[in-house]
Amino acid sequence: MSTAAPVEIETPGHITRKVSLAAEQDEIPRYIVVEGPIGVGKTTLASLLAQALHFPLMLEPAAENPFLDRFYAEGHRHALPTQLFFLLHRARQLSDITSNDLLGPTLVADFMVEKDALFAELTLDEEEFGLYKQIHDNLAMDPPAPDLVIYLQAPVQVLQQRIHRRGLKFEQNIETDYLNALADRYTEFFHYYDAAPLLIVNAAATDFTNNHLHFSALLDRMFAMDGTRQFFNPNPSLLA
């Protein structure tokens, strides 16, 4: 549940040219979702992609959730309102997606609604999850399938370092056990995920904000996707 602000940096000329060429050759996925656990950098990458591709950007509403800081500080007793806020807000966001009947939406998002139950199962007790599931099912959400999902992976130690570095006060209360459990849930979820092409990224070895070659190499892999599941694990010594 990232709370990072959208990244605003100048897009280098070689990346602009790369995107223009890919657009001419119809190689750019129209609806891209960036996912991964807390602190992995999904909001940063989604913002960079939206800026480079000139796509609308849809961000997870973490900063707007009035229960999130209490959940991280005090735990379980705030889990249900925290989760329901995200669920209802995501439902509203998805209902606002405008779609061309033939081509689908043009969009970059830093969340997918299918992962909402992942957090709910991790944080809610049996009765709370039953209530959550009832509300979820009654919303009857039918989100469009992404053209590409980018799943960012990093060890929990890296997630902790990045959470500490960005310095959001309430995030400093996140427990290691919670991060470990969350990372495991993401790994399991994407092990079986087959609803859209999936690009699995070693986020611990990349710095998309400060290293334009890392970002450029990721674009190359995105535009060349020719299967349902691929990996992006560049050697930093070669791309530095």
Q: What is the set of active-site residues? A: 110
Give the separation between CA 102 and CA 147, rounded to whole angstroms: 13
C-alpha distances (whole Å) from 23 to each of 10, 17, 64 are 20, 10, 34
Q: Around Cβ 96, how many Cβ atoms within 10 Å?
A: 7
User: CA 160 → CA 39, 119, 148, 207, distances in Å?
Assistant: 7, 18, 27, 16
Structure tokens, 170: 């309430």
Give dist(CA 24, CA 94) in Å, integer. Answer: 28
Q: Which amino acid is at 199?
A: L
